[in-house]
A and B are shown apart, each in its own frame.
Chain A
Amino acid sequence: EDQVTQSPEALRLQEGESSSLNCSYTVSGLRGLFWYRQDPGKGPEFLFTLYSAGEEKEKERLKATLTKKESFLHITAPKPEDSATYLCAVQARQRAQKLVFGQGTRLTINP
C-alpha cells in the first residue's frame, strides 16, 4: 500500500530562520511526487512536481528535492506569509490518477 509520512507535524520558526520539511514515502513505482500548500479552509495550491531521484525545483524561498525514499521542502529566510500547511503527495505508475497525501506539516513563521 502506498504511504506518505510527513515530519514534523508542526514547525514554528522566526522570520528569516531557514529549515526543512520532510516527506518519506513508499510507493510501488513512483510516477511523481507533488508538494502543495494549503491555507486554513482552502484547497491545496500546487507548488512542485518531482519525477526522479536527484531532481530539484525552486520557487521563491522554496526548494524541493527528491531521493528514492524521501523528499525535502527547504524554506530559506521565510516570511510570515509562508505560514501554511504544506502537503506532500505521491502518484504511483499503476494508479496514475490517485494522489496519496501525507498528513501535512503546519508551518508558522513568527515576525
Chain B
Amino acid sequence: EPEVTQTPSHQVTQMGQEVILRCVPISNHLYFYWYRQILGQKVEFLVSFYNNEISEKSEIFDDQFSVERPDGSNFTLKIRSTKLEDSAMYFCASSDTLTGLHNEQFFGPGTRLTVL
C-alpha cells in the first residue's frame, strides 16, 4: 500500500541552525502539506503546496519557513534559523484531490525536531 515517507525520523539541532525536513508523498498525489504537533498539543496546519507553489499557509508559517519540491518525488520543509519553540513533531501529508469524495490527507510517520 502506498505511503508517505519522511526523513530523518529524529533531528537534533542547535538554536539558530538551519534544518531541512524531507518527505516523499504518495506518488500520484498532487497536493502536499506540512503540519506540526508540539508535545501534548493539537496537530496544527502549517502550509499546503500545489503546482509548485504555496496555496495556503498559517500564521505559524512565517519568513523562517519555506517549502520546496526540488524534484518529482521529494517535498521539503526548511527552517532557516531554528528557535527553541520550533521543537515539535513535523508531519508531511498528501492528497490526490482537493474537492470531491476522495480528498482525505494521508500522513507520514513524522520527524521529531529537537532544538537545543
Q: Taking beta carbons and an 8 Å cutoff, which residues of A are in contact with B?
A: 31-32, 34, 36, 41-46, 49, 51, 87, 89, 91, 95-104
Contacts and interface: CB of A to CB of B under 8 A. Distances in A.
Contact of A32 (B44, B91, B103): B103
Interface stretch (B12-20, B70-78, B106-114): B106-114
Contacts of B107: 36, 43-46
B91 A43 contact: yes
**9 closest A-B pairs by CB:** A97-B48, A43-B107, A101-B43, A98-B45, A97-B56, A44-B107, A43-B109, A43-B110, A101-B42
Interface string B35-66: 10000011111001010000110100000000
Interface of B: 4, 31, 33, 35, 41-45, 48, 50, 55-56, 58, 89, 91, 98-99, 101, 103-110, 112
Given A43-B110, A96-B98, 5 more contacts: A32-B104, A43-B4, A45-B107, A96-B103, A100-B45
B101 to A, nearest CB: 7
Contact of B43 (A44, A46, A95): A44
A31 B55 contact: no
Contacts of B42: 101-104
Contacts of B106: 46
Contacts of B91: 43-44
A87 B43 contact: yes
Contacts of A44: 43, 91, 107
A46 B31 CA distance: 16
The winner among B35, B43, B58, B107 for most chain A CB atoms within 10 A is B43
Nearest to B110: A43
A13 to B, nearest CB: 22
A46 to B, nearest CB: 5
B45 A103 contact: no
Contacts of A95: 56
A91 B101 CA distance: 13
Contacts of B104: 32, 34, 46, 49
